[in-house]
Amino acid sequence: MNNNWLLRVRNLTKIYGEATPGVLERTGPKFDTNICSKTGAVVAVNNISFDLYPGEVLGVVGESGSGKSTLVQMLYFDQEVTAGEVNFKPVEEGNVNLFELSNQKKRYIRNHLMGMVYQNPRDGLNFRFTSGGNIAEKLLMANVFHVGKIRIRGADLLTKTEVPIQRMDESPARFSGGMQQRVQIAKAIANKPPLLLLDEVTSGLDVSVQAKVLDLIRGLQQDLGVSMIVVSHDLGVIRMLTDRTMVLKHGQIVEQGLTDQILQDPQHGYTQLLVSSLL
């Protein structure tokens, strides 16, 4: 039953600067810093391990600089890893470390098997293309070449994410923040990936728009049964979307548990502070 995971992450580490021996031991919440006292290297992600199950939604919470975005960016190959292994069931039955694969194979995984939604829509969308074009780009990368089919699928996805299809041929640059985020979500799910990574997707949106985006994500998760990693500093978002939560501080997991337990019976001082800071 322990073999039931979709994604298995082991000892994932990211160091900016020199990876000298002992650097991981000299940083973290115990030292209240992620900067190595000897070399000045910054440990963004420090030895993180977890399993994600099919259909599961995992929350990653922590303040700015805790390493949560770096974590998902490494999973999406946006950033090089310093050390660690990731196995992913759809790739060779999970028997291979994704970071050892060729760039071509990594690109395949990004385009076919994962979707990413960034905090800033400019990171996930190309503003020189139309919104339909952005989705087409993702479909093309996954080898869908029939123009008519791309068009229909694009309209379909935009309808699902409640972007008016009359505006399909406009650049997302002319859209509101909430609508840009919905185009990004449409693009991320275009190839029906089994894994969706969401990095602070509602930060910076006003509350009513935030609510709509969250409802959309929740609905998609239920309809598609996709596994998700939801990164947020907002415990409200975590409460609404996730089953399980990891709390990160200075690159390390300080606490993990069922989301209701993290919110109602936080064990670590830092989590208690986060929960008590909830409005």
Partner 1 sequence: MGLLLEIVDLEKRFELHILNEKEIDALHQVSFNVNEGEVLALTGNSGSGKSTLMKCIYRTYLATSGRMIYRDGQGAVIDLASATEHEVLRIRRTEMTYCSQFLQVIPRVPAIDVVASGLVARGRTIEEARRATSVCFERLSLPAELWDAYPSVFSGGEQQRVNIARAMISRPRFLLVDEPTASLDITTKDAVIDMLLELKQAGTSIILISHDEHTLRRMSDRSLHLENGRLKEAVVYA
Residues in the chain: 279
User: Please, which residue, 164 or 269, has the CB nearer to partner 1?
Assistant: 269
Q: Of 84, 172, 79, 170, which Cα lies nearest the Cα of 125?
A: 172
Per-residue three-class SS string for 74-128: HHCCCCCCCEEEEEECCCHHHCCCHHHCCHHHHHHHHHHCEEEECCCHHHHCCCC
Tell me how far, at minimum, the Cβ of 243 lies from partner 1, in Å. Answer: 6
User: Please, which residue, 30 or 107, has the CB nearer to partner 1?
Assistant: 30
Instruction: Compute CA 117 distance to the chain's CA centroid, rounded to the nearest angstrom.
Output: 7
Tell me how far, at minimum, the Cβ of 276 lies from partner 1, in Å. Answer: 6
CA atoms within a 13 Å half-sphere pointing along the CA-CB vector of 64: 2
Tell me how far, at minimum, the Cβ of 144 lies from partner 1, in Å. Answer: 30
Strand partners, 101: none
Tell me how far, at minimum, the Cβ of 260 lies from partner 1, in Å. Answer: 5
Give the dihedral of Cα atoms 199, 204, 208, 212; nearest 10 deg: -20
Q: Of 49, 51, 6, 22, which Cα lies nearest the Cα of 253?
A: 49
DSSP, collapsed to helix, strand or coil, labels residue 136 as: helix
Tell me how far, at minimum, the Cβ of 53 lies from partner 1, in Å. Answer: 6
User: Please, which residue, 91 or 262, has the CB nearer to partner 1?
Assistant: 262
Positions in the binding site for partner 1 (CB under 8 A): 4, 51, 53, 56, 211, 215, 218, 222, 240, 243-244, 256-258, 260-261, 264-265, 267-269, 272-273, 276
User: Please, which residue, 134 or 202, has the CB nearer to partner 1?
Assistant: 202
Tell me how far, at minimum, the Cβ of 210 lies from partner 1, in Å. Answer: 11
User: Please, which residue, 152 or 258, has the CB nearer to partner 1?
Assistant: 258
User: Please, which residue, 187 or 244, has the CB nearer to partner 1?
Assistant: 244
Give CA angle at 216 (212, 218), nearest 5°: 115
